[in-house]
Amino acid sequence: MTDDIERATAAIHEGELVVYPTETVYGLGADALDETAVERVFAAKDRSHEKPISLAVPDVSSALAYVHPSPRERRFMEAFLPGPVTVLCEKDERVPDLLTAGRDRVGVRIPDHELALALLERVAPVTATSANVSGRPSVTRVADLDEEIERAAAVVLDGGETPGTGSTVVDVETGTVHRRGTNADEIEAWLAEH
């Protein structure tokens, strides 16, 4: 599997797309700071440019190079990451507007999956969006990848079947859960208490 991770790392460095497993669904990864690579993600997914894409990193300290979390956001990240949650934070100027659909906040994801983390420790930040064509179901097995995604990806990392529930997307500052996923009740309880 190390060879596959090395091939995936090289592909991302070259601006290519990679399919990788997470503890939720399979993700479509590219260099999140490379606008050309991010554009390839939008094209492969046939995704509207009005819809932002999150970025994935290996740990909270790595995230600090790309986002400026408030103290409350930082406490939340340390409590819930790595894990199936996407945290919206103020983006650094290095994060392209293309990724965030022109917004000043970006979703941060630290997947709790050995293979995803092995990749992210070698190359980050990487786009964190489901590896499916927009409007179609998220993918939990490599065998179920949409043809368009398979064609677009230079490397597919097969981590077996994933659980399938999407990440919870949360704006900690406003206390808003934008998408309920795994751990949503626990997250809402934390937001109410902190």
25-36 per-position pLDDT tens digit: 999 999 999 999
Contact (CB, 8 A) for 78 and 106: no
* Element spanning 62, H or E: helix 60-63
Q: What is the pTM of this model?
A: 0.96
SS3 107: strand
Which pLDDT tens digit goes with each residue over 128-168?
999 999 999 999 999 999 999 999 999 999 999 999 988 99
Question: What domains lie within the chain, and their CATH numbers?
Answer: 2-193 (3.90.870.10)
Separation CA 173–CA 176 (nearest Å): 8
Separation CA 104–CA 92 (nearest Å): 9
pLDDT at 2 (0 to 100): 79
